[in-house]
Amino acid sequence: MNFETFLKYIPQILDEKLPGEKAHMEMMPLERIAIFKDLDLENIKPREASVMMLFYPKNDEPHLVMILRNSYKGVHSSQIGFPGGKVEKYDTSLADTSLRETFEEIGVDRELISIVRPFTPLYIPPSNFKVYPFLGYAAQELTFNPDDREVFGIIEMPLSILMDDHTKVSKTLSTSYMEEVAVPAFKVEEYYIWGATSQMLNELKEVLKRVF
């Protein structure tokens, strides 16, 4: 699919009902599903963050930009995610947070981005964040200028790879908060995308499958 054709589906993407938690849970390990059944977010009072799921043309094919985070002492060290971060008091909205963080992390100016719609927010227990994903697109090819303090590398995922069902796999891994756990993941080249990012990615994929 070329980028011009992709843009023609934007009105349908806007109108499509979100699959929400159903799509999220397809990419959760069993241990995490059990935790979510007993969650009471009103008492937990999570912090808020926003991320940007940003499509753009590269060689006339839609691509989705993702980041490989630097190694640090934290629960999301060396993980793959979308550009984004916590809501600051000077942000005018959750969407504004996603635009600001996208510029800060990968150097894409907000004026180049058209926001399509919000997707279903989700809670991340290890970091106690409620994350609000936004789908957006840039109508031109992009040059990235990643923030070396936070971003180790840029991953450019072709839409065709996202839509390929063979990219869904099971991966056994260990992190700072769990050991030797089998988790659902997306395999893109040598990278495994799992956790909250894979859950947001799965909801995006399900919506795109319905409209294409």
Cα torsion for 79, 84, 66, 172, to the nearest 10°? 30
Answer yes or no: are the C-beta atoms of 56 and 140 closer than 8 Å.
Answer: yes
The per-residue pLDDT for 76 is 43
Model confidence, pTM = 0.92
Please check whether residue 8 lies inside any domain of the structure: yes
Answer yes or no: are the C-beta atoms of 40 and 48 closer than 8 Å.
Answer: no
Please check whether residue 184 lies inside any domain of the structure: no
Please check whether residue 81 lies inside any domain of the structure: yes
pLDDT of 39 > 90? The answer is: no
Please check whether residue 66 lies inside any domain of the structure: yes
Please check whether residue 33 lies inside any domain of the structure: yes
Please check whether residue 183 lies inside any domain of the structure: no
Residues 186-201: tens digit of each pLDDT: 999 999 999 999 999 9
Please check whether residue 153 lies inside any domain of the structure: yes
Label residue 94 exposed, middle or buried (CB < 10 Å: 0-12, 13-18, 19+). middle
Q: Which residues, at least 6 apart from 109, have a Cβ–Cβ distance to it below 8 Å?
A: 103
Residues 46-64: tens digit of each pLDDT: 999 999 999 999 999 999 9
The runs of H, that is alpha helices, within 90-194 are 94-106, 159-163
CATH of the domain at 151: 3.90.79.10
Counted domains in the chain: 1
Average pLDDT over residues 163-175: 88
Please check whether residue 182 lies inside any domain of the structure: no
Residues 99-129: tens digit of each pLDDT: 999 999 999 999 999 999 999 999 998 889 9
Residue 74 CB coordination number (10 Å): 13
Residues 80-102: tens digit of each pLDDT: 999 999 999 999 999 999 999 99
Residue 184 CB coordination number (10 Å): 18
Residue 88 CB coordination number (10 Å): 10
Selected residue with higher pLDDT from 90 and 42: 90
What residues make up the domain containing 202?
3-164+195-211
